[in-house]
Amino acid sequence: MPSRATTDARVAEIRAFNRFYTDRIGVLRGGLHGSRHPLPEARVLFELGRQEVTEVAELRHRLELDAGHLSRLLARMEEQGLVLRERSPQDGRRQRLRLTATGGYERLRLDQASAQQWSGLLDPISDGDQRRLLDAMATVREVLGGPQPNCSVELRGPLAGELGWIVARHGTLYADEYGWGEGFEALVAQVVARFASECDPDRERAWIAAVDGRAAGCVLCVRRDDDTAALRLLLVEPWARGLGLGDRLIDACTDFARGAGYRMLALWTNHPLVEARRLYERRGFVLVSETPHDDWGVELVGQELALEL
């Protein structure tokens, strides 16, 4: 856990960023995107425009607003002719909401103004910096809320720079979670460098698990000898765990090794990686040997597992 001083400094940085961001997009300058609607009204217009009819309880859940606050907000919007409240025909105790024609028009204007504002902000920024900005925004969402439930997931080969990403993320993640030292990152770099320079595409392959196009996991299948392939460098980002990426990466490696004519798929892991070992064992991998070591500044037990193909 970080120290109190470290936490206080980080809180100050977050608060400073919030002030910068709200000023940059003009949240405090009257209506949102140059409209007459403050942020709460704009959010209600957006949410109600997602479907023809919305129950008040559902809207309150989406916006996480106090019932009294939402009721007063809806009353003001009714007076402006933006929304219509009605009793649910299924349950007279429940209220439903829909946008009026005026409300629908105002929502469309807000959408167009928002797109224009963001286009204006992005236009002077280079393509590379735009991608950095989007990656940073995705990181904020992932760290604070996890991956979105409707995210797209795919397995693909590494794009330019992603072999380096494999090395960097292994070094950072295992140092943070297990305290493994620079020797581990050096080992990963050696594996990746050999793969990059000597890969036989018929018998070796690498996969990146991408979530909404962003690298979130990886694994390599490399040749150990004519009959044995090795599964190397399985990793899933913490923010992407729970999406089944580990299962998909292991299965892709296993299917490829079998199709490439190997008779055995082996791997080397270490005893703290309990969750990964469970994934292997569910697929029939068995423990072959265990060897204590302290190669990365931590007392560990290396474990060799194998699967007959």
- The neighbour count for residue 272, using CB atoms within 10 Å, is 16
Q: Would you say residue 269 has pLDDT above 80?
A: yes
Q: Would you say residue 149 has pLDDT above 70?
A: no
Under the banding of pLDDT at 50, 70 and 90, the label for residue 226 is very high
pLDDT value at residue 278:
92
Mean pLDDT computed over 268-278 = 93
Q: Would you say residue 240 has pLDDT above 90?
A: no
Rg (CA), the chain: 26
pLDDT value at residue 148:
62
Q: Would you say residue 83 has pLDDT above 80?
A: yes
Phi-psi region of 293 (alpha: psi -120 to 50; beta: other; left: phi over 0): beta
Bridge partners of residue 220, in order along the sequence: 206, 232
- Domain residues of the chain, as ranges? 4-145, 153-308
Question: Percent of the chain at pLDDT above 90?
Answer: 55
* Token pair in block for residue 172: 């950072």
Closest CA to 98 of 57, 49, 63: 49
Q: Would you say residue 1 has pLDDT above 80?
A: no
Q: Would you say residue 227 has pLDDT above 80?
A: yes
Residue-wise pLDDT for 155-201, tens only, equals 999 999 999 999 999 999 999 999 999 999 999 999 999 999 999 99
- The neighbour count for residue 213, using CB atoms within 10 Å, is 14
Least confident of 9-23, 27-41, 85-99, 210-224: 27-41
Under the banding of pLDDT at 50, 70 and 90, the label for residue 229 is very high
Under the banding of pLDDT at 50, 70 and 90, the label for residue 146 is low
Q: Would you say residue 73 has pLDDT above 80?
A: yes
Summary mean pLDDT of the chain: 90
Element at 8 (helix H, strand E): helix 4-24
Residue-wise pLDDT for 102-115, tens only, equals 999 999 998 898 88
Top pLDDT among 133 and 217 is at 217
- The 8-class DSSP code of residue 94 comes to S
pLDDT value at residue 263:
97
Per DSSP, the three-state class of 87 is strand
The b/e string for 145-165 (b: 16+ C-beta within 10 A; e otherwise) is eebeeebebebeebeeebbeb
Q: How far apart are the first and last CA of the chain?
A: 44
70 close to 35: Cβ distance less than 8 angstroms: no
* Token pair in block for residue 264: 């055995």
Q: Would you say residue 132 has pLDDT above 70?
A: yes
Say which CATH architecture domain 153-308 belongs to. Answer: 3-Layer(aba) Sandwich (3.40)
Under the banding of pLDDT at 50, 70 and 90, the label for residue 147 is low
pLDDT value at residue 81:
93
Q: Would you say residue 274 has pLDDT above 70?
A: yes
Fold for the domain defined by 4-145:
Arc Repressor Mutant, subunit A (1.10.10)
Q: Would you say residue 28 has pLDDT above 90?
A: no
Mean pLDDT computed over 232-238 = 95
Mean pLDDT computed over 117-122 = 88
Residues written for the chain: 309
